Amino acid sequence: MSTWVRMKDKTYFTLGALLLVGGIVMVLTAIVLTMSPPRGTPAFEAGQSLIVGAFCTGVAIVPGALLIWRGFKARAFAKELEEFSGWVRAYRRIGLADLARKLGKSEMETEKLLVTVVDRGLVRGFIDRAANEFVVPEAIGQSMFVGACPRCGANVQRQFLVGETPVCPYCSSVIAASVPPPPPPPPAYVRR
């Protein structure tokens, strides 16, 4: 989890707890002063106690509870971003339409989520606008380009990552990787 998000939810929890506890203490103090005031001090009337209770509820208890609730939401969102960023890193290269479909969100929402995780430094990468795919930097240089299908001759024009099995989208045949063969071994040294 990024430190910014951790700091944000801790701040919400701390402020919320302080307000909530402070408001409850003030309400309890007003009740105690109404029930049994200290000697030599005027007694609180029930109406005054209700006013103090309403004031404390509106100014401290409700905002404190809302800040604690907001802290839980911030923590849940941070956890969601962490899981999402790990998931995206595992793909190396994924189309935005595929990513949106897997998330059950629109492409625009998915792109906003990607921008958020990139801005917060949870994942490094960029959106390849030509292919409409998100690419992590580790995938650069690990790809091969397929121009045409050798079986049906269709114009494929796609990048495939090393380790993926290129399949023609038209005839569904597996396209053999055009990786150059390894260099021949050096000649054996023969001692004469």
Question: What pLDDT sits at residue 121?
Answer: 86
Instruction: Quote the pLDDT of residue 1.
Output: 45
Is residue 172 included in any domain, yes or no?
A: no
Domain count, the chain: 1
Q: Which residue has the higher pLDDT, 178 or 18?
A: 18
Position 111 in a domain: no
Structural domain contains residue 121: no
96 in a structural domain: no
pLDDT band at 169 (very low <50, low <70, confident <90, very high): confident
Q: Region 85-109: what's the mean pLDDT? A: 86
Residue 44 domain boundaries:
1-80
Decide: 147 and 175 in contact? Cβ < 8 Å.
no
Q: Residue 60 pLDDT > 50, yes or no?
A: yes
Strand order in the sheet with 133-135: 93-95, 133-135, 126-128
Is 8 a member of any domain?
yes
CA atoms lying within 13 Å on the CB side of residue 14: 6
Tell how strand 133-135 and strand 126-128 pair up.
antiparallel
Model-level pTM? 0.58
Instruction: Give the pLDDT confidence score for residue 2 in this predicted structure.
Output: 47
Within a domain: 142: no
